[in-house]
Chains A and B, each alone.
Chain A
Amino acid sequence: MGGYGDVQMIDENGIRVDGRTAGEIRPVSINAGIIPVADGSAEVIWGTNHVIAAVYGPMEAHPRKIQKQDRAVLDVRYNMAPFSTTDRIRPGFNRRSREISKVTAEALESVVLTELYPRSKIRVEIEVITAEAGTRCAGITAASVALADAGIPMTDMVISVASGKINGVVVCDLNKEEDNYGEADLPMGVCANSGELVFLQMDGDLSPEEFQIAWDYNMEAIAPVHEMMIDALKRSNGGDE
């Protein structure tokens, strides 16, 4: 991440290229139960990002060597569709998708009561239809809603948001230009109710003060997204509150 030279991505009034203020997130919309054949599913539209997650299981873990005798394994597969970005993405796993699948599984394992399903597998498929920066965050959020929709027991729901730095200013929820040419990125996964941190990555450099601002922005963004997740689950399950 080397900065973007002279291009101004935030003006002197703190307004970014897409008109947002520093602490503002992109418009978010969440829907649950969108794939009838899946045990649970969800769709997250976060800015221009469009991510779909589907959950299948618990089911017998195959091959047998992946079985854990005392708990279930979360088999997460994050994938970007070849048409999700302007440059065609070669179909199949790559280094980045493996990494995101791994960190997503680890974030979700913190809340899923895997010990209730020994030797089983819970399959989580995350498919990015349109990508515009922040797909891992949208993927984790979608997977969390899909797991709840599938009736998988969880102690909490995980929400993921990223903040970063552009032109020396810390901002919340980077868009594509800010992500590509910004100076730092700090995606975080937080349990909605307990506030526990289950996932954190950092790309670029942030001073301790900037890190604190980014942290605060992420924490502030959790509550409204959590409300949307609950609303989506209630809409798809006939809740009256």
Chain B
Amino acid sequence: MSDQNARGGRDGRGTRLVTPGASLGASEGRRIGHGVVENEGQLIAVKLGALIENEEEVSVIPSHTRYTPRPGDLVIGVVEAVQSNLWFLDINAPFNALLPMSLGPGKAEFGGARNVLNVGNTVLCRIQEVDETHSSVVTMKGLGLRRIDSGIVEAIPPHLMQSLFSDSNVLKSLKSSTDCRIILADNGRMWVDGDSKSMSNVISKLEQIRAMSRDFSSLESMVEILQTEVY
């Protein structure tokens, strides 16, 4: 499959935008993907977004969504509350994630959690488990997982993560063109570190992306912005 086909029509050209309740035809012989439900033999879109149809699957890429945690996701969290033996992290999802002391960074004694991570600290962690009510537990035990003490954290609309960065070259060229260290987390956050001029270049690129984030027809332009060399 060519790279263009791999995007499955998400490049904006010929994208058909569907609204909730739109009929997508008979369900027979078609697999139901994201944003689609079946009702009495008919497929119905349940989200506003771009319709992706290929031989076997029908799905809708939403034009706006909240991050839904999945086990194994790399996320950037911000400590929102501390208890004696655990931390509550804002991971950009509907619910805060729990970071138990046993999965936290280094050694902390019971009651001394605040000495290790305090409210407002930013951490790079991984989703350990998610239960059926969408509550999640994160871990900082793993290669590269740590407290973030430098740089800035910027937001990217979660629904664009897949479309923009499915091609790893996009992130590579963003790093090389801006001369910044960048970590892209799955929860719509990006850690950027470098000198102030380089970081401001990344910030201005991401501001443009956020301004265009709802327009499916500008996906190609967004990729272009990320890959453009900065002088």
Contacts and interface: CB of A to CB of B under 8 A. Distances in A.
Interface of A: 33, 39-40, 57-60, 69, 111, 113, 117-120, 148-157, 191-194, 229-230, 233-234, 236-241
Interface string B20-51: 11110000000000010101000010111100
Given A69-B133, A193-B21, A237 B44 contact: no
Contacts of B95: 60, 119-120
A88 to B, nearest CB: 37
B216 A238 contact: yes
B142 interface: no
Interface residues of B, number: 35
Contact of A157 (B19, B23, B49, B62): B19
A240 B14 contact: yes
Interface of B: 12, 14-17, 19-23, 35, 37, 39, 44, 46-49, 62-66, 94-96, 132-134, 159, 214-218
Contacts, number: 107
12 contacts: A113-B46, A117-B134, A118-B134, A148-B20, A151-B65, A151-B66, A152-B47, A156-B20, A237-B17, A237-B216, A239-B217, A240-B17
Nearest to A144: B20
Q: Which 3 A/B pairs are nearest by Cβ-Cβ distance? A: A239-B17, A238-B215, A156-B21
A237 B21 contact: no
Main SS class of interface, A? loop
A48 B95 CA distance: 40
Nearest to A150: B64
A87 B221 CA distance: 50
A236 B214 contact: yes
A240 B134 CA distance: 35
Nearest to B219: A238
B78 to A, nearest CB: 15
A60 B47 contact: no
A144 to B, nearest CB: 9
